[in-house]
């Protein structure tokens, strides 16, 4: 079974631009979560989607948004990029939603904002 696939692997943008990151979960997995990882703040939860519905959202500004498609693939969008948005964005999938579910992580998209 293929793992969680995130594209692109690396991305360089400038302040004010917007960016869209993509995540394809493991086949059969219906829940997708997104996390931001930075040296200063560590790993922080962005949001979780299940069956095309956002089930949970972290404490991030409205510039961060996401969606999930009927095939469970997910995208996250960041508008009006700021320097502080530079981070590794990790996507994780699980078969269902649930607190005890283990998450399978992709290798991430490294976003650099100049």
Partner 1 sequence: AQSVTQLGSHVSVSEGALVLLRCNYSSSVPPYLFWYVQYPNQGLQLLLKYTSAATLVKGINGFEAEFKKSETSFHLTKPSAHMSDAAEYFCAVSEAGGTSYGKLTFGQGTILTVHP
Binding site for partner 1 (CB under 8 A): 4, 31, 33, 35, 42-45, 48, 50, 55-56, 58, 90, 92, 94, 97-108
Strand partners, 13: 113
Closer residue to partner 1 (CB): 9 or 15: 9
Q: For 38, how many CA atoms within 13 A lie in the half-sphere containing its CB?
A: 14
Cβ-contact 112, 15 below 8 angstroms: no
Pick between residue 79 and residue 86 the one whose CB is nearest to partner 1: 86
- Please say which residue, 78 or 106, places its beta carbon nearer to partner 1: 106
Q: 3-state DSSP call for residue 83?
A: helix
Which tokens is 23 given? 């995540």
Q: How far is the CB of 36 from partner 1 (least distance, A)?
A: 11
């Amino acid at each position: 079974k293929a793992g969680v696939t995130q594209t692109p692997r690396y991305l360089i943008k400038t302040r004010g631009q917007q960016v869209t990151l993509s995540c394809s979960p493991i086949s059969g997995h219906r829940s997708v979560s997104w996390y931001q990882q930075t040296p200063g703040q560590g790993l922080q939860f962005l949001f979780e989607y299940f069956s095309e519905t956002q089930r949970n959202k972290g404490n991030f500004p409205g510039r961060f948004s996401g969606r999930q498609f009927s095939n469970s693939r997910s995208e996250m969008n960041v508008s009006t990029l700021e320097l502080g948005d530079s981070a590794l964005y990790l996507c994780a999938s699980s078969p269902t939603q649930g607190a005890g579910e283990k998450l399978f992580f992709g290798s991430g998209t490294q976003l650099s904002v100049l």
